Structure 1
Amino acid sequence: MTTGAHAKRPKTRRADIGEAASALFAARGFHSVKMDDIAQASGITARALYRHYANKQALLSHVVHQDQSRLIETLTSLGDTPPPDLASGLRMLIETALQSLRLSLLWQREARHLGPDDYAAVRARTRWIADRVDALSIAPARPDLDPFLRELRSWAVVGLVTSPGHYDTSLASTRLADLLLQAGIRVVGCLPAQEPAHDGLRPVDRPPTGRREL
C-alpha cells in the first residue's frame, strides 16, 4: 500500500524540482549546475526530471517566473486602489518578497542565461512590478515628485524589498521585515538631491545624462 507521503509526491514533484533548482542556481550559478545535480537534489532520476522540464533554461524560467508571480499577484489584488497608507503597502510587498528570497539574486545574476523570449518576459514583468509600486505606493505618498523621481524611488523600493537574497542574516523574518519597512519609508520620503545654482540650490529633477549617472 502507498503511504500518504508517496501518494502526495507526484502532485508536488514539479514544485519540488523547481525549489531544488532555485537553491542550486542561487548557490552555484546557472552554468555550474547540471541537470543531474538537480535530479539528485530532487530525489529522482535525470530521465524523470526531463519529463517535467525540457532543459535548464526551462527550469530557470519557471523559478524566476514563479517568484515574480508572487509579487504580481499581491500588486494585482490591490486593483487600482492604493493601500490606506505607505506603510501598509510596503508591508504587503515586503512580506510577499520574503517568500521568494532568491528572486533578486536569480533575476539580476542569472536571467541573462534565459532564451530571448523568456528574458524579455522577465524584464517586462520586472518593469510592471516597478510601475505598480509607483502607482500604488510612491505616487500617493509623494504627489510633489515628478514622474522621473517617482520612478527612481520605485526601482529603489523594489531593489530594497528583494535584497535579502544577496546576504545571509540571522534576523527573524519579522525583524527583517520591520527593518526593510523602515528603510522603504525613508527611500520614499527622502528629499530630491540638490545641486548649486547661481540663485541658490535647486532640485536635481532631470533624468541622468551620462553613462556614469546611468
Structure 2
Amino acid sequence: MSTSPTGADAPTRRVQILREAARLFAARGFHGVGVDEIGAAVGISGPGLYRHFPGKDAMLAELLVGISERLLAGGRARVAAAGGAPAAVLDSLLAGHIDFALDDRALIVLHDRELDRLRDDDRRRVRRLQREYVELWVAALRKVH
C-alpha cells in the first residue's frame, strides 16, 4: 500500500511544528514568539505554517489539550495495567507522571505560564481533562489509605 507524499509528510511536519512551538513558547512566552520564528525552526516560511494550523493560538491549544489528553490516557492505561492492586496503581501513576515531567519539560513550563492564553472553550477542555486525571489519583489514594 502506498502513501501519498502529502499524507506521509503532513503528520511529521505537524509534529515538528508543535515541538518547536512548544520549545519556543516555553523559552520566550507565547507572545514573545512569532510564526516566522516557528516556521524558521522547522525550515518553512511563517505563512507556510497556516497550511497546518490556523494560527499560533491553535498551536497552543493543541499542545495544552494534547498533554492533558496524553496524561489522562496514560493514567487510565496504567490503572488498568496495574490490575487493581492499590499500591501498584499508585506506584504506576507516580512513575508515569515522573516520566512525563522529565520527558516533557517544555510542555510543563508552557502549561504553567500560558494556560490563560487559551480561548475559553479550550481552557475548559483542559481543565475537564485535568479533573479526570486527578480523579484517577484520588481514587488510587483512597484505596491505599
Q: Normalised by the shorter chain, which TM-score bucket?
A: 0.7 to 0.9
Match of 2:108 in 1: 104
Structure 2 alignment gaps of length 5 or more: 1-6
Name 2:4's counterpart in structure 1.
none
Runs of 4+ off more than 3 Å: 7-11, 79-84
Secondary structure of 1:110's counterpart equals helix
Question: What does the per-residue CA deviation read over 1:151-189, in whole Å, with 9 as the maximum and x for residues that have no partner?
Answer: xxxxxxxxxxxxxxxxxxxxxxxxxxxxxxxxxxxxxxx
Q: Which residue of 2 aligns with 1:15?
A: 15
CA distance in 1, matches of 2:24, 2:85: 37
Map of 2:48 onto structure 1: 48
Work out whether residues 67 and 100 of structure 1, in 8 Å CA contact, stay in contact via their aligned partners in 2: no
In structure 1, what residue type is equivalent to 2:68?
Answer: Q
CA contact under 8 A between 2:24 and 2:33: conserved in structure 1? yes
> Which residue matches 2:94?
90
2:142 match: 139
* 1:36 aligned onto 2:40: no
1:116 matched to 2:106? The reply is: no
- The amino acid of 1:139's aligned partner reads R
Residue 69 of structure 1, CA deviation: 2.4
Which structure has the higher relative contact order (CA within 8 Å, separation 6+)? Answer: 2
SS in 1 for 2:15: helix
1:81 corresponds to: 84
- Aligned equivalents of 2:99 and 2:86: distance in 1? 15
Find the aligned partners of 2:32 and 2:121 in 1 and give their Cα distance.
23
Which residue identity does 1:27 align to in structure 2?
A
112-121 or 98-107: which moved more? 98-107
SS of the aligned residue for 1:44 comes to coil
1:24 aligns to 2:24 (yes or no) = yes
Give the whole-Å Cα distance in 2 for the aligned partners of 1:83 and 1:99.
Answer: 26
Secondary structure of the corresponding residue to residue 103 of structure 2: coil
User: Which residue of the partner structure matches residue 57 of structure 2?
Assistant: 57
Deviation at 1:50, TM superposition (A): 0.2
**Which segments of 5 or more consecutive residues in structure 1 lack a partner in the other structure?**
1-6, 143-214
Q: Distance in 2 between matches of 1:55 and 1:140?
A: 44
TM-score, normalising length: structure 2: 0.81
Q: Give how far 1:83 is off.
A: 5.3
Deviation at 1:84, TM superposition (A): 4.6
Q: Distance in 1 between matches of 2:84 and 2:8?
A: 39
Q: CA deviation at 1:73?
A: 1.4
Counterpart of 2:84 in 1: which secondary structure?
Answer: coil
Q: Distance in 2 between matches of 1:82 and 1:102?
A: 33
Deviation at 1:104, TM superposition (A): 2.7
Kindly provide the amino acid, as one letter, of the partner of residue 56 in structure 1. K
